[in-house]
Amino acid sequence: MINLSILLIIPLLSALAVIFAGAKSARMVALLGALAQLGYSSYMMLSYMGERAAGNTNQMLYQTKMSWFAPMNIEYFVGVDGLSIAMIMLTAVVVLTGILISWNVDKMPKEFFFLLLLLSLGAYGFFISLDLFTMFFFLEVAVIPKFLLIGVWGSGRKEYSAMKLALMLMAGSALVLVGLLCLYFNTNVNGAHTFDLLQISKMHIPIEAQRFIFPLMFVGFGIFTAMFPFHTWAPDGHSSAPTAASMFLAGISMKLGGYGCLRVAAYLMPEAAHEYSWIIILLSTIAIIYGAFATLMQTDLKYINAYSSVSHCGFVIFGIGMLTKTAITGAVMQMVSHGLMTALFFGTIGMIYERTHTRQVAQLGGLLKTIPFIITVFVIAGLCSLGLPGLSGFVAEMTVFMGAWQNPDTFSRVATVLACASIVVTAVYILRTTGASVMGPIKNPDFLTFKDAAWNEKFASITLLLCILAIGVAPYWLSDLVSPDTQLIMDNISRVVGK
């Protein structure tokens, strides 16, 4: 039997163990913790699939409930469905690879790995929580360590970026908190209020309240997903962050927002989601196109990937805004796919930076000759980003497009066409980047002395590559995993909207 609390205990224990370990052995402890977590998550996914195959139709499996703060009905209430399992797997993989890639951190390694594991604790808690307050608690846990990670281990304008990122994300969570409390006081269970997500989903929140709460929640979570126009923390934050933190930020943190938008905002307030869907579509289409064009003009590899993340995460919001089952499934797949892909991208950028000490495209060139393994992985990540079939990006984007096209009104159609057009721009910037930075003649004789990937880098890249390929080549398992739950979300929407 699966106990979800173990998912929280493993990172907590390993974080504590890292503190008590020596400076040298900290990374080993962290790695073991991450491996244990990945193992347990995989075991949980398999047993979940087994339960579903055996015909278990409960919405949330492996539930645990404990009172936490009784006067306000705050509970430690956890449970998982396919959506959260996909996200947990993503987190487990990204954290493991993040630890591997930062294997050679020499500045305060204990603290570094401690914070990284703490972040992952927040993410796991967020994805399994079914109590809104507990969820919020874990959201905060997943924000604050980032400030330290960027501020202490970062590069460039790290103080500025750390502050900006932390402030914007805190503003996001403040909005979420306000929304949460408003929602709480609009619930009614035998005269008392509740934070219980499952109970709220069955209630009818008054439409006037929804109109007020939904934007708070959606913008709040949207800031995490780098939704236009609240995305500016992303480029600065990503570029200053150390590699593992970038991977976590783009790979998981941005997904916290997407998951929240879907699970909390759209699921609990279906009418408002329907009413505001045009705004969501508008903003996300702008993000997709504008992010792509802004990427064209960047010259720093990390900025390129950060802006392209804005564009790609636009697809997540876009899929949610389209409010069809296929589009939402696509949005979830895009979250997973983008998480893996961008982690791989940031990982390889980190490897390149470690060797060349520059991320300026113009100063790179010809690297394919000297560090073929890293560059091949880099190019594959790029190809995934531009939506090559056989890699995960294609599957996710196509599912979003297919779902989006099911809305017959002209507005959605135009938005979909524009979103489709972004794949061309994506191809342009990806090819420009790879063309200039890794192909062509070798620009700097120092490049000839570089060593190709070490074991930890190879291990990390291959793990991520395998996941990307697994989704790209056999997408049905992911789509089967999440589509029953997106169906439930859609049912909730069609129940009230009558669509």
Partner 1 sequence: MLSTNLIVLIPLLPLISFLLIALVGRKNFPNLCGALGTIALLTSFLLAATVAYDYFFVAGKVNGIYQQMVPMKIKWLEFSPNVSIDLGILLDPISVMMLVIVTFISLMVHFYSLGYMKGEERYATYYSFLGLFTFSMLGLVISSNIFQIYMFWELVGVSSFLLIGYYFDKPSAVAAAKKAFIVTRFADLGFLIGILVLAYYSGTLDFQTLITRLTTPTDQLHAITTASFLGASALTWGLLLVFMGGAGKSAMLPLHIWLPDAMEGPTPVSALIHAATMVVAGVFLVARLFPVFSISCPSALQVVTWVGASSSLFAAIIACTQTDIKRVLAYSTMSQIGYMMFALGVSGYGGEHGLGYMASMFHLFTHAMFKALLFLGAGAVIHYVHSNEMKDMGGLRKLMPVTHITFLVACLAIAGIPPFAGFFSKEEILQAAFHANTTIFVIAICTAAITAFYMFRLYFNIFWNKEYHAVSHVHDDHAAHDDHHDHGEGPFTMKLPLMILGLLSIVAGFLPFAHLVTSDGKPLETEFHITFSIAPVLLATGGILLAMVFYKKENPRPQAIANGLKGLYTAAYHKFYIDEVYLFFTKKVLFNLVGRPAAWIDKNIVDGTMNLLAFITEQTSYLIKRMQSGRVQSYAAYFFAGVIGFVLVFIYWWK
Q: Which of 473, 237, 257, 454 is nearest to 346 (CA)?
A: 237
Query: What φ, ψ does residue 442 adopt, rounded to 5°?
Result: -70, 125
Phi, psi of 440 (to 5 degrees): 80, 180
Our CB check for partner 1 shows the closer of 137 and 405 to be: 405
Which of 2, 152, 282, 402 binds partner 1 (CB under 8 A)? It is 402
311-330 residues in contact with partner 1 (CB under 8 A) are: 325-326
Q: From the list 73, 284, 298, 370, which residue makes contact with partner 1 (rule: CB under 8 A)?
A: 298
| Amino acid found at 263 | R
> Exposed/middle/buried for 436, CB within 10 Å: 0-12, 13-18, 19+?
middle
- Residue 324 CA to residue 401 CA, distance in Å, equals 11
How far is CA 22 from its chain centroid? 32
Give the C-alpha separation, 484 to 329, whole Å. Answer: 9
Q: Find the radius of gyration of the CA atoms of the chain.
A: 21
Q: Applying CB under 8 A, which of residues 157, 159, 389, 499 lies at the interface with partner 1? A: 389
Counted residue by residue, the chain has a size of 499
Using the rule CB under 8 A, which residue among 89, 423, 481, 493 binds partner 1?
423
Q: Provide the minimum distance between the beta carbon of 470 and partner 1 in the complex, in angstroms, as a whole number.
A: 13
Q: Which of residues 101-120 bind partner 1 (CB under 8 A)?
A: none
- Residue 435 is a binding residue for partner 1 (CB under 8 A): yes
Least separation, in Å, of the C-beta of 27 and partner 1? 29
Closest C-alpha to 420, from 276, 248, 316, 288: 288
Angle between helix axes 372-385 and 392-405 (nearest 10 degrees) is: 10
Choose the binding region for partner 1 from 116-124, 262-270, 405-413, 491-499 (rule: CB under 8 A).
405-413
What is the distance between the alpha carbons of residues 231 and 251, in angstroms, rounded to a whole number? 15
Q: Classify residue 249 by its DSSP letter.
A: I
**Nearer of residues 184 and 373 to partner 1, judged by Cβ:** 373
- Residue choice 42, 440, 470, 496 for contact with partner 1 (CB under 8 A): 440
Among 479, 486, 490, 493, binds partner 1 (CB under 8 A): 479
Give the ranges where 129-205 is alpha helix by DSSP (H). Answer: 132-141, 144-153, 158-185, 197-202
Stretch that binds partner 1, among 60-68, 205-213, 392-400, 447-455 (CB under 8 A): 392-400
491 binds partner 1 (CB under 8 A): no
Handedness of CA 58, 59, 61, 63 (dihedral sign): negative
Query: Of 134 and 399, which CB lies nearer to partner 1 in the complex structure?
Result: 399
Our finding on whether 293 is near partner 1 (CB under 8 A) is yes
- Residues 177 to 236 in contact with partner 1, rule: CB under 8 A: 228-229, 231-233, 236
Long-range pairs of 161-164 with CB within 8 A, sequence gap ≥ 24: 161/236, 161/237, 161/239, 161/240, 161/241, 162/237, 162/240, 164/232, 164/233, 164/236, 164/237
Under rule CB under 8 A, residue 432 binds partner 1: yes
Size of the site for partner 1 (CB under 8 A): 56
What tokens were used for 70? 């009784």
| Residue selected from 31, 118, 168, 227 as contacting partner 1 according to rule CB under 8 A | 168
- Min dist CB 403 to partner 1, Å, is 7
364 makes contact with partner 1 (CB under 8 A): no
The stretch near partner 1 (CB under 8 A) out of 27-35, 97-105, 272-280, 422-430 is 422-430
Decide if residue 431 touches partner 1 (CB under 8 A): yes
* Contact between 174 and partner 1 per CB under 8 A: no
- Find the binder of partner 1 among 23, 46, 189, 424 (CB under 8 A): 424
* 82: contact with partner 1 by CB under 8 A: no
In this structure, what token pair is assigned to residue 134?
């507990």
Return residues touching partner 1 (CB under 8 A).
164, 167-168, 228-229, 231-233, 236, 290, 293-294, 296-298, 307, 325-326, 366, 368-369, 383, 386-390, 394-395, 398-399, 401-403, 405-406, 408, 416-417, 420-421, 423-424, 427-428, 431-432, 435, 439-442, 474-476, 479
